[in-house]
Structure 1
Amino acid sequence: MTDKDFDAPQGDEVRPEQEGSEAQASGPAPQDGTDAAAGGADELTIDDILGTEQNADAAAEDAKLADLESALLLDLKRLQAEYANYRRRTEEQREVEIARAKGEVAKGLLPVLDDLDRAAKHGDLEEGSPFAQIGEKIRAVVERLGITAYGEAGEVFDPQHHEAIFQAPTPGAEVPTILEVVEVGYRLGSVELRPAKVVVAVPAEPSAGPATG
Structure 2
Amino acid sequence: MTENPTGASAPEPTGDPAAEPRFTDRRRIDPETGAVRESASAGSAAGPVDAATTGGSDAAGEPSGTEDPLAGLDFEPSAVDAELVQAQTTAAERLEDLQRLQAEYVNYRKRVDRDRTVARDQAVAGVLEALVPVLDDVDLARQHGELAGTPFAAVAEKLEATLTRFGWERFGTVGEPFDPQVHEALMHQHSDDVSEPTVSMVMQSGHRVAGRIVRAARVAVTSPDA
- Global fold match (TM > 0.5): yes
Distance in 2 separating the partners of 1:133 and 1:74: 60
Aligned to 2:83: 61
Aligned to 2:58: 38
Given the superposition, is the C-alpha separation of residues 38 and 92 from structure 1 closer, same or farther in structure 2, using an over 3 Å criterion? Answer: farther
Distance in 2 separating the partners of 1:184 and 1:166: 15
Given the superposition, is the C-alpha separation of residues 110 and 59 from structure 1 closer, same or farther in structure 2, using an over 3 Å criterion? Answer: same
Range moving further from structure 2, 65-74 or 118-127: 118-127
Distance in 1 separating the partners of 2:145 and 2:138: 10
Given the superposition, is the C-alpha separation of residues 144 and 38 from structure 1 closer, same or farther in structure 2, using an over 3 Å criterion? Answer: same
Residue pair 1:169, 1:202 contacting (<8 A) in 2 also: yes
Aligned to 1:130: 151
Distance in 2 separating the partners of 1:59 and 1:122: 89
- Matched position secondary structure for 1:63: helix
Aligned to 2:68: 47
Aligned to 1:99: 121
Distance in 1 separating the partners of 2:77 and 2:165: 73
Counterpart residue identity of residue 161, structure 2: A
Aligned to 1:139: 160
The alignment's C-alpha RMSD in Å is 3.1
Given the superposition, is the C-alpha separation of residues 204 and 50 from structure 1 closer, same or farther in structure 2, using an over 3 Å criterion? Answer: same
CA shift for structure 1 position 55 = 2.0
| Deviation >4 Å, runs of 4+ | 26-32, 49-53
Distance in 2 separating the partners of 1:161 and 1:67: 59
Given the superposition, is the C-alpha separation of residues 62 and 163 from structure 1 closer, same or farther in structure 2, using an over 3 Å criterion? Answer: same
Q: Which of 170, 173, 180 is equivalent to 1:159? A: 180
CA shift for structure 1 position 141 = 1.6
The alignment-based identity, stated in percent, is 36
CA shift for structure 1 position 30 = 11
Where does the alignment leave 5 or more consecutive residues of structure 1 unmatched? 1-25, 206-213
CA shift for structure 1 position 189 = 2.5
Distance in 1 separating the partners of 2:199 and 2:80: 85
Given the superposition, is the C-alpha separation of residues 50 and 190 from structure 1 closer, same or farther in structure 2, using an over 3 Å criterion? Answer: same
Counterpart residue identity of residue 101, structure 2: L
The structure that is helix-richer by fraction is 1
Deviation readout 1:88-107 (Å, 9 max, x if unpaired):
11111111112212222222
Deviation readout 1:111-148 (Å, 9 max, x if unpaired):
11101122234443241x22223222222222222211
Deviation readout 1:144-188 (Å, 9 max, x if unpaired):
222111111111212221111111122333211111111101222
Number of residue pairs aligned between Structure 1 and Structure 2: 177
Distance in 1 separating the partners of 2:70 and 2:154: 99
Residue pair 1:172, 1:204 contacting (<8 A) in 2 also: no
Given the superposition, is the C-alpha separation of residues 31 and 89 from structure 1 closer, same or farther in structure 2, using an over 3 Å criterion? Answer: same
Distance in 2 separating the partners of 1:51 and 1:85: 55
Aligned to 2:109: 87
Deviation readout 1:17-48 (Å, 9 max, x if unpaired):
xxxxxxxxx9857999x993139845x63423
TM value normalised by structure 2: 0.66
